[in-house]
Amino acid sequence: MRKITDIFARKRRTLSFELFPPKTAPGARRLFETAETLAELAPDFFSVTYGAAGSTATGTLRIAVELQERFGIPVLHHYTCIGHTRAVIRQCLQVMAQSGIRNILAMRGDPPRDRPNYRPGPDEPRFGHELVRLIREFGDFFAVGVPGFPEKHPNTPTQELDSLYLKVKQDAGAEFVITQLFFDNEDYHGFVRRVRRAGVTIPILPGILPITDYDKLVNFCRLCGATLTEPIRRTFEPIRWDLRQTRARGIDVVARQCRELLEAGAPGLHFFCLNHSEPTATIVKSLKLLAV
């Protein structure tokens, strides 16, 4: 299976879709129906998320492998180090390699939900760059990506320090970045400028969240620490009870956001699909991304 870094080397722009492991059998069926629809858009890769402290570890690997086998499209396997010893991490990486996974998004991850005061043990990595170094023990077998935070990570005091942390991950072996969601494109452009000043040279893919339900959007942003901008509030709060109008206006707003990012030189788009093909498919088709 292809590595994402090889795709970056030959394409000016990439298209990718993020899915998450469902908890039920009907959810699993919907996920693969969604993937089948999205596969028709010829994405460069899918990605599959990984629950806090490895809570979806088995599901993530199973779905990643099945997506690759069904559609012949590379899958980016999210992986976190919180709650795992170095021995367990090395064992999991070996299983991924044997299963045909060539792409990993390396993250520190969130603590277990039932242990908010969790502290890593003596043989458990504490930071994302340590996980990147463990993955690099496999040489160049894996392409390694890391997350990026346009506004800065919520737990990092300053943007400057946040930029330096990303440089540490690059120095450890990270090869590309996928950002958290944002709604002000200047947040993305400012992020790119500041990490470039810090010496980060790897590709930075903007993460895009389609808008379909304002109340869920508010909650989603609160959970992940992303700013819900005033223009978004003014546009969607008055129609929060009208999901049809919210969806239609959301397509216009997000398509415009994507178009501006591509015109400004973004190396692609990474959509957080939430296991639905729409409205992502409509947005992608409106951009004619595949023709450029």
Residue spans per domain, the chain: 4-291
pLDDT in tens, 7-22: 999 999 999 999 999 9
CATH for the stretch 4-291: 3.20.20.220
| Mean pLDDT, range 35-44, rounded to an integer | 96
Catalytic pick from 18, 130, 151, 175? 18
Tokens 């991850």, residue?
A: 109
Question: If pLDDT is split at 50, 70 and 90, which confidence band does 69 have?
Answer: very high
> What pLDDT, on a 0 to 100 scale, did the predictor assign at position 53?
45
> What pLDDT, on a 0 to 100 scale, did the predictor assign at position 269?
97
267 Cβ neighbours under 8 A, 6+ residues apart: 8, 12, 13, 14, 203, 204, 205
**Which pairs from 82-85 meet CB under 8 Å and 24+ separation?**
82/52, 82/53, 82/108, 82/109, 82/110, 82/111, 82/112, 82/118, 82/120, 82/124, 83/53, 83/54, 83/109, 83/111, 83/112, 83/118, 83/124, 84/53, 84/54, 84/124, 84/125, 85/121, 85/123, 85/124
Question: If pLDDT is split at 50, 70 and 90, which confidence band does 290 have?
Answer: very low
| Mean pLDDT, range 154-181, rounded to an integer | 96
pLDDT in tens, 242-285: 999 999 999 999 999 999 999 999 999 999 999 999 999 999 99
> What pLDDT, on a 0 to 100 scale, did the predictor assign at position 291?
44
Give the C-alpha separation, 217 to 56, whole Å: 23
| Mean pLDDT, range 150-171, rounded to an integer | 96
Question: If pLDDT is split at 50, 70 and 90, which confidence band does 193 have?
Answer: very high
The two three-digit tokens of residue 245, written as one number: 């109008």
Task: For the chain, give the percent of residues with pLDDT over 90.
Answer: 84
111 Cβ neighbours under 8 A, 6+ residues apart: 52, 53, 82, 83, 117, 118
Beta-bridged to residue 178, according to DSSP, are: 147, 205
pLDDT in tens, 95-141: 999 999 999 999 998 777 777 677 777 888 989 999 999 999 999 99
pLDDT higher than threshold 50 for residue 164: yes
Predicted model pTM: 0.94
Residue 223 burial by CB count (10 A; 0-12/13-18/19+): exposed, middle or buried? exposed
Verify whether residue 18 is a known catalytic residue: yes
The backbone torsions φ and ψ at residue 45, rounded to the nearest 5 degrees and listed phi first, read: -165, 160
Tokens 């508010």, residue?
A: 218
pLDDT higher than threshold 70 for residue 63: yes
* Averaged pLDDT score across all residues of the chain: 93
Beta-bridged to residue 222, according to DSSP, are: none
